Amino acid sequence: MKMLKWLSCLLFLLCCTQVDAGVAQQRKALFFGHDDRVFIPAPYASPYDAIGLLKTTQDSECTATLISPTQAITAAHCFLMNGRRVDAGRWFLAGYYKGKYTARYRVLGQRFNSRFAKGLKYQGDDVYILPQAAAYDMAIMDLKLVSGRAPQPMPLFNGSRQQLQSLLQINKYRVTQAGFAEDHDQVLSAHQQCVVTQLRRNNTLFHRCDTLAGDSGSPLWLSTTQGPLLIATQSSAPDWFNRKKVDNVAVSVLQKP
């Protein structure tokens, strides 16, 4: 799944040009000067085993996270990459590692805020997300376990904006992000203790976790005394040449459909 790109203060752009893996300078810029990701050893321990690979009907791929025995959370744009017709989810593979998984779920349906779809602009192979829709790039999937061992779902934050702000302050704005990035899409990689730089007025987060295409929909979570707490999902990132202008964007679960 291609990653949403920042074009200007008015538009978010999803660039459909394949990133050249040999352009080390661009990758370095995207990673804020250094790649801080680590590979999570398989089989994944909790909470990493709740994270999995989402496959759509037309074979697009994103990252998603189990949040209940029958639901997972991801990015809404994962289902709208081929025009306004929804590319429905097909499989969610929890604990995915090199073609294997700990649990396979059939996706029964997905739902997201209608304002997101209405705020998309298609131009050639690119998808533009207007600012009024950017805060709604989040989707919930309904699932049915088909095979394997179901992992423990990752707890979802369900408090107020003020409570989320307080938790971020307590944790010194440090979170962990993990997903199936395009350069290592067969294994789970994570940026542990990366920085949230702002909780924005529209309930999205600016953050400096190292993400690439494929990380769309991946979870950002806080480490609390009660355990991990999922607070947001990855949405967008700038082009490498715009890195100094804006941080990555995640949608907080305050926007959960």
Cα(157)–Cα(228) distance, rounded to whole angstroms? 10
Q: Which two tokens stand for residue 159?
A: 């408090």
Structural domain range at position 61: 4-255
Q: Is the model's pLDDT at 125 over the cut of 80?
A: no
Lowest mean pLDDT among 15-19, 74-78, 115-119, 161-165: 15-19
> What's the average model confidence in pLDDT over 31-47?
96
Report whether pLDDT(14) > 50: no
How many structural domains is the chain composed of?
Answer: 1
pLDDT at 8 over 60: no
State residue 28's pLDDT score. Answer: 87
Q: Up-side HSE of residue 96: CA atoms within 13 Å toward CB?
A: 28
Give the pLDDT score at 22: 52
Q: Tell me the whole-structure pTM to 2 decimals.
A: 0.89
Q: How confident is the model at residue 10 (pLDDT cuts 50, 70, 90)?
A: very low
Lowest-pLDDT choice from 96-110, 203-217, 230-244? 230-244
Distances, alpha carbon 189 to alpha carbons 3, 131, 170, 195, 230, in Å: 16, 29, 25, 17, 17
**Is residue 77 annotated as a catalytic residue, yes or no?**
yes
Catalytic choice (60, 216, 236, 252): 216
Q: Is the pLDDT of residue 19 over 70?
A: no
pLDDT band per the 50, 70, 90 thresholds, residue 4: low
141 or 16: which carries more pLDDT confidence?
141
Q: So what's the pLDDT on residue 176?
A: 98
Q: What is the mean pLDDT of the chain?
A: 89
Q: 71: domain CATH number?
A: 2.40.10.10
Tell me whether residue 218 is one of the annotated catalytic residues. no
Higher pLDDT, 175 or 19: 175
Examine the pLDDT at 238 and tell me if it is beyond 90: no
Percent of the chain scored above 90 by pLDDT?
74
Check: CB of residue 151 under 8 Å from CB of residue 46. yes
Catalytic residue (choose from 77, 207, 218, 235): 77
Mean pLDDT value across residues 182-201:
96
C-alpha distances in Å from residue 8, one per residue of 50, 159, 176, 238: 35, 32, 27, 9
3-state helix, strand, coil in the chain (%, to 5): 15, 40, 40
